[in-house]
Amino acid sequence: MSLSITLIIIIITVAVSLSANGKPELYSKLLFNPYQVHHGKEWYRIFTHALIHDRSNIFHLGFNMYVLYSFGNIAETILVTSLGTLGIVYYVIIYVGGIVAASIPSMLKHKDNYGYSSVGASGAVSAVLFTTIAFMPFTGGIGIMFIPLDIPPLIFGVLYIAYEMYMGKRGGTNIAHDAHIGGAVFGFLFTLIFVPNAFTNFLSQVLGVIGF
C-alpha cells in the first residue's frame, strides 16, 4: 500500500522539525528571514521554513499537521480521482505554491529587517484547506474551537479570512496572519482557475444553495 502525498509531507515535516529543534544551527539555517533572502540571496529559505516549526510550542507543529491530515487527504483524493497522476502534480503545486504565496507579504514588508523571521507550514496548510473549501463549499461542516457547532466550509472560509485580517491589523500575536491569508487565497484561486471543472462545480453548489 503506497503512502499518500499528504502523509509523505507530514512525515518529512515532522522529521525535519523535530531534528532541527535540537540543532540550533540547522534551525537558523532553515527559517525564513526576508533580509537573508533578499540581501544574502538565500532563496531556499522561502521553502525550507515550512519544514520547521516553533521550537517552544509543539502545538504549532501538531496543529498544522492535524489540519493538513484532515483536509489534505480530502483534497488529494478529489484531485487524484478526477485527474489521475496529474492530480498529484496539482496537489504538490498547491502545497508548494501556498508556501511561496504565504512568504510574499512578509518578504515585501520585512526584506530590510534583519530581526524578523518566521517558521511553519501554516501558509501551505491554509492553501490545502481552501482547496478543499473550493471543492466542497457546502458539503459537510467545519468546527471552530470551543464552539460545539459545525458550519458550512465556505462560511468558515469567510470567517477565517476576516479573523486573520482583523488579527493582522491588531498585531501583537507574533503570528504571521498575512501568511495565512496569502496561502488561503492562493489555494482557493488556483483550484478554481486551473483545476478542470472546479469553478463550474463551485458555482453550481453556491447557486444551488441560494436557490438559483
Q: Which domain holds residue 138?
A: 5-210
Dihedral sign computed on CA atoms, order 121, 26, 32, 118 = positive
119 vs 170, which has greater pLDDT?
A: 119
Cα radius of gyration rounded to whole Å, the chain: 17
Q: How many angstroms separate the CA atoms of 41 and 45, rounded?
A: 9
Q: How many angstroms separate the CA atoms of 208 and 212, rounded?
A: 6
pLDDT band at 174 (very low <50, low <70, confident <90, very high): low
pLDDT of residue 172: 64
CATH number at residue 36: 1.20.1540.10
61 in Cβ contact with 53 (< 8 Å): yes
Number of domains in the chain: 1
Instruction: Determine the residue type at 166.
Output: Y
Q: How many angstroms separate the CA atoms of 14 and 195, rounded?
A: 29
Give burial (CB, 10 Å; 0-12/13-18/19+) of 188. Answer: buried
Looking at the chain, the whole-number percentage of residues with pLDDT higher than 70 is 94
pLDDT in tens, 101-147: 999 999 999 999 999 999 999 999 999 999 999 999 998 777 665 55
Q: How many angstroms separate the CA atoms of 197 and 116, rounded?
A: 41
Q: HSE (CB half, 13 Å, CA atoms) of 188?
A: 18
Q: pTM of the prediction?
A: 0.93
pLDDT in tens, 34-43: 999 999 999 9
